[in-house]
A and B are shown apart, each in its own frame.
Chain A
Amino acid sequence: MTDTLGQWLMSEAPMSRRQAIFGRIYRNARAVVRNPTALVGLVIVVALILVAVFAPWLSLGQSPLTQDLASRLGPPSAAHWFGTDELGRDIMARTFYGAQATLTIVFLVAVVVVPIGLVVGMVAGYLGGWVDAVLMRITDIFLAFPRLVLALAFAAALGPGIDNAVIAISLTSWPAYARIARSETLAIARSDFIQAAVLQGASTPRILFRHILPLCLSSVIVRLTLDMAGIILTAAGLGFLGLGAQPPTPEWGAMVSSGRDVILDQWWVATIPGIAIFVVSLGFNLLGDGLRDIFDPKSA
């Protein structure tokens, strides 16, 4: 059975659209699993998602918000595996719940940044001329901005919070995607199948969204995965400065910040959430590196 399924998936001459799509997914998935870098990254990213979803169960009955001032700044112990923070809260529970804040930011930035970048890049690349010149000039301006400092200024003006952190990070992240989408579009737009679609009378939006968009996606996804590490680090930096998720919501950057004053005596308060940030952004870096090797061997 598995053998025939494998043959059906790996078929060089798919009989139906469905078979072709499943076949492609299967082949890509196999490539990812066979690339050790990508696999380790994938495992970490999946673990992040699982931890975020199952945080209540993984925390072994500890609440991330319950304060216990009697046992504040306790070292790692049987009751609190990662110790307790300055308000006696369980650091393990807070670290697990902190995955939710990180995942929210990463997800929201992706949802905001990718469509904007794709539309700007595709329109610029496909229409060319002065539209291209103007859009790319704007893109270059935003690309030249220092991300963290601008995010700081935005967060300062709008007030701290996850939403504003997302807006601030998105504002400085979209230009990279516009550039990728534009260069892909420039290459695709000259192909014969686009000319054929034009001759059949397809409208410009139809060509952009039905024919060009799907071909831009793989480069954009690779870039997004690589960017995720930077986004997580910027978000954690904002949190560290007190501009991310607001207390008492557990957020890794803010947790490191709260351990700052006691770093010399109670090292675990700042160290544990820092390791969480490191592992997660390492995971995205590994996955992105691996995906780039698989889907875009030229630029590796």
Chain B
Amino acid sequence: MSTEAASLDPAPPRDLGRRATGIVRRLAGLVFSLAVTFLGLTAVTFFISRLTKIDPVLAVAGDKANKQAYDAAYHALGLDQPVPVQYLIYVKRVLTGDMGMSVLTSNPVFTDLIRVFPATFELSTVAVIIGVLVGVPAGVVAAARKGRWQDQVIRVVGLFGYSVPVFWLGLVGLFLFYGKLGWVSGPGRLDVVYQATMTPITGVVLVDALLQGNWDMFTNAFAHLILPASILGYFSLAYIARMTRSFMIDQLGQEYVVAARIKGNSFWQAVWRHAFPNILVPLITVIGLSYASLLEGAVLTETVFAWPGLGLYITNALFNSDMNAVLGGAVLVGAVFIGINQICDFLYKVFDPRLRTP
């Protein structure tokens, strides 16, 4: 990134001090807006926790508790405090990683979340890699061949991705590639055989298998991963291709592309060597945004593929009225989502010279 910023902006050295203060100011702005958005997120989850009809005191004290025990639990939960104070207590608990106990697993929700997060991380990372590797070239080709059949095909593929329900595509994929063709493995992360021998190091199975030098386990994990990751990746592909196309159309209309052609570059040289580097900055934002939304899409995909990640954890908690776990999961997804969005926004402003205030 830094080399590009340097090549994009040949600022004289004496401006460095002013630029540094500018970046510090922006960084402060980023921290501030992250903090405000996080407070907003916790305010909403706090509000949701008040809405629920489940009595939190009974959840702690049990329904056989006598009046005394009930009152003690009521006091211990801070429910006799005014609502704003309760909210502050809640924020403090969330920040210290105390999201209560999960009724379902009888572990602290925080421990559960740390356990399940790597699975979701693995799934969405592979998905976004697929989305970038296919989506970016597709978008560039669509822009370069605007209005021709290549553009139309890519547009239809993208439109399909915008319209198809992810859980349904997952089921159809399972039916076709697992049930009928047998090309991939079924639901879950590993075959049962490997689950016993698997000792989690990072929690990311592909990495763990490599670290242990277990090649069979790696291929098995890959066979399980490839279908859900492709289906999720397809959704980010649709978005990335559409945005790449519109960025590239902007660039290809510029005069410097014509100049590059006049100098004797071939058409595709002008596209890839001259126009493409100029869309990298907005493209990184788009990739970040699609990565954040993949975390969300993972909720439904994980349910279909019995993928033991965050999404499956949240939905399982949902059906067991385990509100602590649901809200903890929502806070984690929300925090990651907000974090990625705002950091992308920040990077965009820092690295795009046009958006930089002098």
Q: Are A233 and B323 in contact (CB under 8 A)?
A: no
**Which residues of A from 207 to 251 have beta carbons under 8 Å from B?**
229, 233, 236-237, 240-243
**Cβ of B285 to closest chain A Cβ, rounded Å:** 14
Separation of A159 and B327 alpha carbons in the complex (Å): 15
Interface of A is mostly: helix
Separation of A259 and B163 alpha carbons in the complex (Å): 20
B99 CB-CB contact with A under 8 Å: no
Separation of A281 and B334 alpha carbons in the complex (Å): 26
Chain A positions within 8 Å of B300 at CB level: 148, 237, 240-241
Chain A positions within 8 Å of B330 at CB level: 146, 149-150, 152-153
Separation of A4 and B165 alpha carbons in the complex (Å): 48
Chain A positions within 8 Å of B171 at CB level: 256, 259-260, 263, 270, 274
Interface of B is mostly: helix
A114 CB-CB contact with B under 8 Å: no
Q: A149-B296, A152-B330, A242-B319 are in contact. Are A157 and B165 (CB under 8 A)?
A: no
A29 CB-CB contact with B under 8 Å: no
B6 CB-CB contact with A under 8 Å: no
Q: Are A253 and B165 in contact (CB under 8 A)?
A: yes
**Which residues of B from 307 to 358 have beta carbons under 8 Å from A?**
314-315, 318-319, 321, 323, 326-327, 329-330, 333-334, 337-338, 341-342
Q: Are B162 and A146 in contact (CB under 8 A)?
A: no
Q: Are A157 and B51 in contact (CB under 8 A)?
A: yes
Q: Chain B 282-299, CB within 8 Å of chain A: the 1/0 string?
A: 000000000011011101
Q: Which residue of B lies closest to A226 (CB)?
A: B162
Chain B positions within 8 Å of A289 at CB level: 159
Chain B positions within 8 Å of A148 at CB level: 296-297, 299-300
Q: Are A140 and B296 in contact (CB under 8 A)?
A: no
Which of B37-45, B77-85, B216-224 lies at the binding interface?
B37-45
- The total of chain B residues at the interface (CB under 8 A) is 51
Q: Chain B 5-41, CB within 8 Å of chain A: the 1/0 string?
A: 0000000000000000000000000000100110011
Contact of A144 among B179, B318, B341 (CB under 8 A): B341
Q: Are A146 and B323 in contact (CB under 8 A)?
A: no
B174 CB-CB contact with A under 8 Å: yes
Q: Are A256 and B167 in contact (CB under 8 A)?
A: yes
Contact of B337 among A146, A159, A242 (CB under 8 A): A146
Q: A149-B330, A150-B334 are in contact. Are A144 and B44 (CB under 8 A)?
A: no
Q: Which residue of B lies closest to A153 (CB)?
A: B330
Q: Are B40 and A156 in contact (CB under 8 A)?
A: no
Separation of A285 and B329 alpha carbons in the complex (Å): 31
Separation of A61 and B95 alpha carbons in the complex (Å): 59
Q: Are A241 and B303 in contact (CB under 8 A)?
A: yes
Q: A149-B329, A150-B44, A153-B326 are in contact. Are A229 and B162 (CB under 8 A)?
A: yes
B67 CB-CB contact with A under 8 Å: no
Separation of A124 and B326 alpha carbons in the complex (Å): 34
Q: Are A256 and B168 in contact (CB under 8 A)?
A: yes
Q: Are B175 and A264 in contact (CB under 8 A)?
A: yes
Q: Are B314 and A278 in contact (CB under 8 A)?
A: no
Q: A157-B48, A159-B53, A237-B300 are in contact. Are A277 and B168 (CB under 8 A)?
A: yes
Q: A141-B41, A144-B337 are in contact. Are A153 and B327 (CB under 8 A)?
A: yes
Chain B positions within 8 Å of A156 at CB level: 52, 318, 321, 323, 326
Q: Are B165 and A152 in contact (CB under 8 A)?
A: no
Q: Are B167 and A157 in contact (CB under 8 A)?
A: no
B49 CB-CB contact with A under 8 Å: yes
Separation of A81 and B175 alpha carbons in the complex (Å): 21
Contact of B165 among A145, A147, A237, A263 (CB under 8 A): A237
**Which residues of B from 44 to 81 have beta carbons under 8 Å from A?**
44-45, 48-49, 51-53
Q: Chain A 170-196, CB within 8 Å of chain B: the 1/0 string?
A: 000000000000000000000000000
Separation of A19 and B277 alpha carbons in the complex (Å): 52
Q: Which residue of B lies closest to A264 (CB)?
A: B179
Contact of B40 among A142, A233, A240, A267 (CB under 8 A): A142
Q: A144-B338, A149-B299, A282-B159 are in contact. Are A154 and B48 (CB under 8 A)?
A: yes
Q: Are B159 and A153 in contact (CB under 8 A)?
A: no
Contact of A256 among B52, B165, B299 (CB under 8 A): B165
**Which residues of A from 121 to 159 have beta carbons under 8 Å from B?**
137-138, 140-142, 144-150, 152-154, 156-159
Chain A positions within 8 Å of B321 at CB level: 156
Q: Are B314 and A152 in contact (CB under 8 A)?
A: yes
Contact of B326 among A152, A270, A271, A282 (CB under 8 A): A152
A55 CB-CB contact with B under 8 Å: no
A32 CB-CB contact with B under 8 Å: no
Chain A positions within 8 Å of B337 at CB level: 144-146
B89 CB-CB contact with A under 8 Å: no
16 contacts between A and B (CB under 8 A): A138-B40, A140-B33, A144-B40, A145-B41, A149-B334, A152-B299, A152-B326, A156-B326, A157-B52, A158-B51, A237-B299, A253-B165, A264-B174, A264-B179, A281-B162, A282-B160
Q: Which 3 A-B pairs have the closest CB atoms?
A: A141-B40, A274-B168, A282-B163
Given contacts A148-B296, A153-B48, A271-B172, 4 further A-B contacts (CB under 8 A): A141-B40, A153-B326, A153-B330, A263-B174
